[in-house]
Amino acid sequence: MRKNLNPIGAERLVYEIREIVNIGKQIESFGKKIHWENIGDPINKGEKIPQWMKDILKEEIDNDLSWGYSPTRGSKGAIDFILKNNNKTNALKLDEEDILFFNGLGDAIATIYSRMASNARLLLPSPCYTAHSIGESDHAGEKPILYHLDPENNWQPDIEEIRQKLENIESICGILLINPDNPTGTVFLRETIQKIVGLAKEFGLFIISDEIYQNVVFGETPYTPLIEVIEDVPAIGMKGLSKEIPWPGSRCAWLEFYNRTNDPEFEFFVQRLLDTKMSQVCATTLPQLALPKILGHSEYPALLESRKEILREKVDFIYDELSKIDEVIVSKPQGALYFTVVFKKESLNEWQFIEIDPPEAKALIEEQVKNQPFDKKFCYYLLGAKGICVVPLSSFSSDLMGFRMTLLETDMDIFRQVVKEISVGIRAFFSSTL
C-alpha cells in the first residue's frame, strides 16, 4: 500500500466472545458436540417468538412505508410511544429532541465514542461489556480507565475508588453504568446510582447508562433506571429491542438524552450525534414501526414475566451447583442474561489443565493455551474437554480470572447437564497439576 491504512500503534481488536468460536468450530470437526455459551443471542439458543409478535411483523410487511427510510431521529409512532410511557411515570419529562434511533446499541455505542474528543475519557466499569471498552479505548488510543465492580460485594462499585479516579485523572468527562450489567448480572443499588450522580454533579461530568437489559431484571434488588435519579445532570440512557423482545436481529435501539439543554457542551455533543445519524439517513424502519405494537401489546408484560421466571430458576440451579466449589466466588445475578464465575487468585497456578480427548483436540488446545492468562486456559480446556464454550472474564477488561456463561439454553435438561459438566470441569482444573 502506498499509505498506511492503519494508524501507528493500532492493535488488532480481539473480540474474545467470538474469537473462541473459531477454535470451537475446529473441535466440533473432531466429532465433539459444542454447547455455545458465549454469545447473548436468545434466538440462537432456541427461544421461540410468540405468534402474536410474528403477526405484528407480517402486518407491517404489508405496510409499504415499512420498506422506506424513516425520519433520522426515528419514526413518529415509536418516538410518541417512548415519550408517552416515560412522561407518564418519570418526573423528568422528555421531548422528541431527546430521542435518537440507531441500528442497534452497537451502532450507538460506536457513534458516541467516535464523536468524543480523543482526550475526553469515559470512566468504565471493570469487568466491562467489550463494545464499550473497545470503542472507548480505541477513540482515545489508550487503555480504558476503569472502576472496579467487587465480586465479593455482589459486584457493586466502590464509590471512593470512583471519587479518587475523578480527582486524579483530569481527562475523565463522564461515567458509564451498565445496568443491569453484562457480564456480572449486577443491578446497581439506587443509592449507588445516586452517589454516582452526585459525583457527576460535583465534577461537572455526564453519565451514560446502558439499560439494554432493563426489562430483564429478575432478582431481589429493585431496579432504578438512571432517569429516576438523574436530577439536573446531563446524561444518556441507552435502550434497545435486542434482549427484551428478544429481537437482536432487528438492529433497533435508541438513545434518550436527559437534561440535554443544561450544558452547552453536552447539547452540542447531542447535536453532533444527530448530524452523524443524518449523514447516514436513518436507522432501520421496520422494527421502529413494530415497536409500539409489540411493547404496547396486552400479552407483552406476561411474556417478560415468564422469561424472568425461567432465568430465576436457572440462576438458582447454577448458584447451588457452583457455590459449593471452594476455589470460586459466585453471586446470584439480578438481571441480564449471564452468570459470571470468579476464580480465587490464590487457587490458580500455571500447571492446571483438564484432560482432553481425542488427541487432535488436545494438541489444538495445548497450542492455544501457551502463555495465556489462567482463565483463558481454563476456557480453552473446558472447550476441548467438555465441548462447552464460555468466555474468559479477563477479556472483559478485568484483572479478575474467571468466565462468563449465558443463561439462554432453552432445554432445561441440557442446561442442567451443561452446568454439571462445567462444575466437573472446574473441579478437574483445580485438582490437576501437570
Ligand X SMILES: Cc1ncc(COP(=O)(O)O)c(C=O)c1O
Q: Which residues bind ligand X (CB under 6 A)?
A: 40, 104-106, 129, 131, 178, 182, 210, 212, 240, 242, 248, 253
- Contact criterion met (CB below 8 Å) for 136 and 84: no
Q: How many CA atoms lie within 13 A of 380 on its CB side?
A: 25
User: In this structure, is the dihedral angle defined by the CA atoms of residues 252, 210, 47 and 291, taken in order, positive or negative?
Assistant: negative
Q: CB of residue 253 vs ligand X: minimum separation in angstroms?
A: 4
Q: CB within 8 A of 11, min separation 6: which ones?
A: none
Q: CB of residue 107 vs ligand X: minimum separation in angstroms?
A: 7
Q: CB of residue 307 vs ligand X: minimum separation in angstroms?
A: 16
For ligand X, the closer of residues 133 and 242 by Cβ is 242
Q: Which residues pair with 102 in a beta bridge?
A: 253
Q: CB within 8 A of 287, min separation 6: which ones?
A: 241, 247, 250, 251, 252
Coil, helix or strand for 156?
strand
For ligand X, the closer of residues 212 and 400 by Cβ is 212
Cα 17 from Cα 261, distance rounded (Å): 38
Query: Residue 95's CB: how many other CB atoms inside 10 A?
Result: 11
Q: CB of residue 337 vs ligand X: minimum separation in angstroms?
A: 8
For ligand X, the closer of residues 154 and 250 by Cβ is 250
For ligand X, the closer of residues 243 and 386 by Cβ is 243
- Alpha-helical (H) ranges within 141-189 are 159-168
For ligand X, the closer of residues 157 and 425 by Cβ is 157
Q: CB of residue 125 vs ligand X: minimum separation in angstroms?
A: 10
Which set of grid coordinates corresponds to residue 306?
Answer: 415468564
Q: Which residues pair with 343 in a beta bridge?
A: 328
For ligand X, the closer of residues 307 and 362 by Cβ is 307
For ligand X, the closer of residues 131 and 289 by Cβ is 131
Q: CB of residue 243 vs ligand X: minimum separation in angstroms?
A: 7
Cα 198 from Cα 201, distance rounded (Å): 5
- Alpha-helical (H) ranges within 90-141 are 104-115, 130-140
Spell 70-90 as b/e; 16+ CB within 10 A means b. Answer: bbbbbbeebbebbbeebeeee
Q: CB of residue 177 vs ligand X: minimum separation in angstroms?
A: 10
Which set of grid coordinates corresponds to residue 127?
Answer: 469487568
CA angle (341 as vertex; 335, 346 as ends), nearest 5: 145
Give the N- to C-terminal CA distance of the chain in Å, as an integer: 47
DSSP string of 180-219, one letter each residue:
S-TTT-----HHHHHHHHHHHHHHT-EEEEE-TTTT-B-S
For ligand X, the closer of residues 102 and 258 by Cβ is 102
Q: CB of residue 40 vs ligand X: minimum separation in angstroms?
A: 4
Residue with cell 465433539: 32
Strand runs (DSSP E) across 261-355, as ranges? 328-329, 338-343
Q: CB of residue 111 vs ligand X: minimum separation in angstroms?
A: 12
For ligand X, the closer of residues 214 and 352 by Cβ is 214
Q: CB of residue 424 vs ligand X: minimum separation in angstroms?
A: 28
Q: CB of residue 74 vs ligand X: minimum separation in angstroms?
A: 14
